[in-house]
């Protein structure tokens, strides 16, 4: 099994003390590649130092601090061959940590950057339908993943109409909030499905025992894979191979310096 975790927040303080052990466990669990999510310029810069593929972007929570210099800094980070996408970027009308006009400005600037340099987009959306899809459509965004999809059918259809990839997390293992995903995941075409932990967040709720401090980590991706495979009624190995292939396609992991062979050896 050679899984790809398309989204792990490995620059989070939760991983400060034992990142090497976390990556070794991931490798042992069959997670071949981990893509580190960038959520601010600073976090993206830190992500770029880990020797792993990473994304460079500003999360909508931080949109109020977004300036022209921010775009320049992201463009600079994106020159790194290991930078596989721009993001995470998008709209979050759930928490509303930044005003909506700031969020849209920050989002559009990153869409335009991704389109202009030919990198795919790592997208975040919460409670922002249909505005989010409208913006993607009007900019002609094609290569992108709607990361951590948790929403309803209508929104999923809008993303699939735009030919987006869809990232599924351990949310699908949550018997309270994620039940609808067991149905919806069947509507995602095989060549558009991606898997992610969003570690250290979204620890699968049905995992027993729960990890220490309930910290999620890439080694738990096979647990999410199995939940998805069960929902699809398909062999986990097939879903693993397809989703890994999809990740390699979208993020061009087989070319450039971000290939598995070129990245930091996970098992030190």
* Interface contacts to Zn ion, rule CB under 5 A: 124
Pick the closest to residue 121 from 161, 189, 167, 80 (CA basis): 167
- 192: its two tokens: 């558009």
Minimum distance between the CB of residue 124 and Zn ion, rounded to whole angstroms? 4
Minimum distance between the CB of residue 241 and Zn ion, rounded to whole angstroms? 26
Other beta carbons within 10 Å of 130: 11
Minimum distance between the CB of residue 181 and Zn ion, rounded to whole angstroms? 16
What single-letter DSSP state applies at residue 64? G
- 187: its two tokens: 């509507």
Locus of tokens 């932990």? 197
Terminal-residue alpha carbon distance, the chain: 20
As a whole number of angstroms, the distance between CA 243 and CA 246 comes to: 5
Q: Which residue is nearest to Zn ion (CB)?
A: 124
Minimum distance between the CB of residue 21 and Zn ion, rounded to whole angstroms? 25
Strand ranges (E), the chain: 3-8, 31-36, 54-56, 83-92, 121-126, 144-146, 165-168, 193-195
Residue 3 or 8: the one with the smaller Cβ distance to Zn ion is 8
Residue 45 or 124: the one with the smaller Cβ distance to Zn ion is 124
Residue 4 or 58: the one with the smaller Cβ distance to Zn ion is 58
- 72: its two tokens: 């320049």
Residue 45 or 62: the one with the smaller Cβ distance to Zn ion is 62
Which residues touch 175 (CB under 8 Å, ≥6 apart)? Answer: 205, 206
Residue 124 or 143: the one with the smaller Cβ distance to Zn ion is 124
Minimum distance between the CB of residue 255 and Zn ion, rounded to whole angstroms? 26
Residue 62 or 124: the one with the smaller Cβ distance to Zn ion is 124
Minimum distance between the CB of residue 167 and Zn ion, rounded to whole angstroms? 9
């Amino acid at each position: 099994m050679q899984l790809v975790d398309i989204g792990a927040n490995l620059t989070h303080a939760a991983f400060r003390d034992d990142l090497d052990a976390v990556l070794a466990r991931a490798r042992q669990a069959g997670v071949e590649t981990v893509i580190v999510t960038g959520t601010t310029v600073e976090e993206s810069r830190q992500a770029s130092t880990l020797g792993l593929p990473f994304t460079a972007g500003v999360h909508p929570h931080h949109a109020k601090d977004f300036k022209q210099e921010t775009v320049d800094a992201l463009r600079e980070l994106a020159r790194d061959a290991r930078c596989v996408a721009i993001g995470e970027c998008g709209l979050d009308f759930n928490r509303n940590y930044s005003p909506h006009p700031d969020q849209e400005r920050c989002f559009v600037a990153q869409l335009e950057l991704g389109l202009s340099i030919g990198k795919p987009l790592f997208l975040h959306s919460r409670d922002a339908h249909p505005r989010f899809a409208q913006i993607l459509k009007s900019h002609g965004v094609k290569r992108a993943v709607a990361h951590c999809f948790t929403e309803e059918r209508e929104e999923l259809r809008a993303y699939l109409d735009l030919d987006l990839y869809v990232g599924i997390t351990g949310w699908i293992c949550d018997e309270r909030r994620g039940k609808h995903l067991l149905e919806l995941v069947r509507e995602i075409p095989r060549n558009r499905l991606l898997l992610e932990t969003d570690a250290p967040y979204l620890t699968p709720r049905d995992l027993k025992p729960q990890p220490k401090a309930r910290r999620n980590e890439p080694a738990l991706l096979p647990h999410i894979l199995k939940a998805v495979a069960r929902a699809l009624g398909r062999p986990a190995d097939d879903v693993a191979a397809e989703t890994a292939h999809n990740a390699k396609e979208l993020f061009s992991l087989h070319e450039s310096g971000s290939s598995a062979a070129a990245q930091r050896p996970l098992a030190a």
